[in-house]
């Protein structure tokens, strides 16, 4: 049995794309399944070495301008050519895993397998048709049409019985059930695969913010917010990590300089973290701060949130971020009422006042179980038993 992981955005250490492929490789190896990986043409030497990644794709979802209708077709053609070149000399695969699928990649795969036997597909769709806008933004209507077209083609060519699709939130799954004609499950995508949480024994609690410092993550709110929290509560520490090089907010250096000037109770890092360093950093947190833009994260998931849930760490999240609703309902999340610095400060102070109860509830819902393990085992079992044999290509 042969599995191929495809992620055009996989290019460097750190972040969802690296962690997802790292986790998939470990899980597939544990299942005794032969696997390979195609990533970005710009993948660095360490990523290629660590993940056995073959550089392939020159474009990823983040590079789209969404400005001209012909852009979609141009990008599909580019991905199709690069995919064809990469697979030309490779043996046929039984299963393709797409940790971050979008309409461009879906349509390119449909066209590639139009005249070839199609494998089973296991895919996660992480974003709405515009990766940085909410689904109901009127400007995204043409993108919804191209998404319907792409996934309809994928269904015709591959067949419903050979597509297993997931989104990370119920809200996003509802969107793609409407845009496609196949079932879409809800499961957090593959991510960090180990880690331990901090045990607080009298020391000042640690509030941590970690990840890529994209504009929608709200890092610009932090200097003023943290200054207010420190002024009103001297028994707190902050660990703020954010990589802004390569993000959509590369001008954030002054934000991190301002954070570093807040004093010894604020630790700041803008370095790309290895997976072990990321887990060590996250594991020191007693509270995880996610001051995300609720318009962008109305339906999207958050890898940091899912990892905090697994470790049993309470979260502080902006109201309206759909992924956090289960935490609010179960009492291990504190809402930031509005997306502003004063609201972030107020929510952090509230969380600090109730940290013991929040922690108890977070640990009650934490689990080391990973849905991806079950999903992979089911796919592999189905294929090995013969129920996932390749069918004839569609029209």
**pLDDT tens-digit readout, 98-108:** 999 999 999 99
- State pTM to two decimals: 0.89
Geometric angle at alpha carbon 276, from 272 and 279, rounded to 5°: 90
pLDDT at 200: 60
Average pLDDT over residues 13-36: 90
pLDDT value of position 202 = 61
Contacts of 131 (CB under 8 A, 6+ apart): 61, 62, 64, 102
pLDDT tens readout for residues 214-268: 899 999 999 999 999 999 987 899 999 998 776 676 778 899 999 999 999 999 9
- Say whether pLDDT at 391 is over 50: no
Confidence (pLDDT) at 389: 45
The pLDDT of residue 268 is: 95
How confident is the model at residue 55, as a pLDDT?
A: 95
- What angle do helix axes 355-365 and 341-353 make, rounded to 10 degrees? 80
Edge-to-edge, what's the strand order for the sheet holding 206-209?
Answer: 266-269, 237-241, 206-209, 287-290, 315-318, 333-336
pLDDT band at 167 (very low <50, low <70, confident <90, very high): very high
Identify which has the larger pLDDT, 97 or 252.
Answer: 97
Q: Which tokens in the block code for residue 44?
A: 């660095």
CA 17, CA 271: separation in Å to the nearest integer?
17
Q: How far is CA 325 from CA 116, 170, 245, 258, in A?
A: 43, 10, 30, 31
The answer to whether 333 and 315 are in contact (CB under 8 A) is: yes
pLDDT band at 193 (very low <50, low <70, confident <90, very high): low
Sequence-ordered alpha helix ranges (H) in 261-324? 275-283, 303-311
H helices present in the chain, as ranges? 15-30, 45-51, 69-87, 103-112, 141-158, 170-179, 222-232, 253-260, 275-283, 303-311, 325-330, 341-353, 355-365, 371-384
pLDDT of residue 294: 94
Q: Helix, strand, or coil here: 4?
A: strand
Measure the CA angle with vertex 252, ends 246 and 256; round to 5°.
115
30 CB burial (10 A radius; 0-12, 13-18, 19+): exposed
Q: State yes or no: pLDDT of 388 exceeds 50.
A: no
**Neighbouring residues of 378: CB distance < 8 A, sequence distance ≥ 6:** none
With a pLDDT cut of 90, the percent of the chain lying above it is 65
Q: Above 80 in pLDDT, residue 386?
A: no
Of 10-19, 82-91, 244-253, 257-266, the range with the highest mean pLDDT is 257-266
Task: Work out the average pLDDT over 40-59.
Answer: 92
User: Would you call 212 helix, strand, or coil by DSSP?
Assistant: strand
Among 54-68, 358-372, 379-393, the range scoring the smallest mean pLDDT is 379-393
Token couple for 25: 């490789």
Q: How confident is the model over 64-92, as a mean pLDDT?
A: 90
Determine the pLDDT at residue 246: 63
pLDDT at 137: 86
Find the largest Cα–Cα distance for the chain.
67
Q: What per-residue confidence (pLDDT) applies to 201?
A: 55
pLDDT, mean over the chain: 89
Instruction: Quickly tell me which residue has 């179980």 as its tokens.
Output: 369
Percentage, residues of the chain above pLDDT 70? 93
Please state the rounded mean pLDDT for residues 58-65. 86
- Which residues does residue 290 pair with via DSSP β-bridges, in sequence order? 317
* Angle formed by the axes of helices 170-179 and 141-158, nearest 10°: 70
Give the separation between CA 29 and CA 33, rounded to whole angstroms: 6
Across the strands, what pairs with 29? none
Comparing 11 with 207, the larger pLDDT belongs to 207
Q: Are 137 and 66 in contact (CB under 8 A)?
A: no
How buried is residue 54: exposed, middle or buried, by Cβ count under 10 Å (0-12/13-18/19+)? Answer: middle
Contact 100, 20 (CB under 8 A): yes
Would you state the pLDDT for residue 213?
86
Work out the average pLDDT over 32-41: 94
Packing angle between helix 355-365 and helix 303-311, nearest 10 degrees? 90
- Token pair 């309470």 is found at 314
Look at residue 392 in the predicted model and tell me its pLDDT: 37
Cβ(349)–Cβ(232) below 8 Å? yes
C-alpha span between 75 and 104 (Å, rounded): 7
Compute φ and ψ for 284, nearest 5 degrees: -85, -5
pLDDT surpasses 60 at 183? yes
Spatial separation of the C-alpha atoms in residues 56 and 70, rounded to whole Å:
23
Question: Among candidates 288, 293, 279, 206, which has minimal Cα distance to 249?
Answer: 293
Predicted confidence band of residue 195 (pLDDT cuts 50, 70, 90): low
């Amino acid at each position: 049995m042969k599995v191929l992981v495809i992620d055009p955005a996989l290019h460097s250490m750190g972040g969802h794309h690296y962690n997802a492929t790292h986790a998939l490789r470990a899980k597939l190896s544990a299942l005794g399944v032969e696997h390979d990986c195609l990533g970005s043409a710009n993948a660095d030497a360490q990523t290629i070495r660590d993940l056995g990644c073959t550089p392939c794709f020159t474009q990823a979802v983040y590079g789209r301008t969404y400005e001209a209708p012909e852009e979609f077709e141009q990008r599909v053609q580019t991905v199709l050519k690069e995919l064809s070149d990469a697979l030309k000399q490779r043996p046929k695969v039984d299963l393709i895993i797409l940790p971050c699928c979008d309409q461009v990649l879906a349509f390119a795969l449909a066209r590639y397998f139009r005249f070839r036997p199609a494998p089973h597909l296991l895919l996660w769709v992480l974003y709405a048709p515009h990766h940085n806008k909410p689904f109901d933004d009127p400007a995204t209507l043409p993108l919804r049409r191209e998404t319907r077209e792409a996934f309809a083609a994928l269904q015709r060519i591959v067949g419903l019985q050979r597509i297993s699709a997931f989104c990370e939130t119920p809200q996003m799954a509802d969107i793609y059930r409407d845009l496609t004609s196949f079932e879409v499950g809800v499961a957090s995508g593959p991510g960090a695969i180990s880690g331990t949480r901090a045990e607080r024994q009298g020391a000042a609690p640690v509030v941590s913010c970690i990840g890529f410092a994209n504009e929608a993550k709200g890092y610009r709110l932090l200097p003023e917010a943290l200054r207010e929290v420190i002024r009103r509560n001297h028994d707190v520490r902050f660990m703020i990590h954010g990589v802004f090089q390569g993000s959509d907010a590369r001008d954030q250096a002054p934000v991190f300089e301002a954070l570093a000037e807040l004093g010894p109770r604020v630790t700041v890092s803008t370095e790309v973290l290895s997976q072990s360093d990321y887990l060590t950093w996250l594991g020191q947190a007693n509270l995880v701060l996610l001051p995300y833009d609720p318009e962008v994260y109305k339906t999207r998931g958050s890898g940091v949130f899912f990892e905090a849930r697994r470790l049993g760490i309470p979260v502080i999240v902006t109201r309206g971020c759909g992924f956090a609703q289960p935490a609010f309902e179960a009492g291990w999340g504190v809402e930031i009422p509005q997306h502003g610095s004063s609201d972030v400060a107020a929510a952090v102070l509230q969380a600090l006042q109730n940290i013991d109860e929040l922690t108890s509830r977070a640990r009650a819902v934490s689990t080391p179980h990973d849905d991806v393990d079950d999903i992979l085992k089911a796919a592999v079992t189905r294929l090995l038993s013969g129920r996932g044999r390749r069918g004839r290509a569609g029209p």
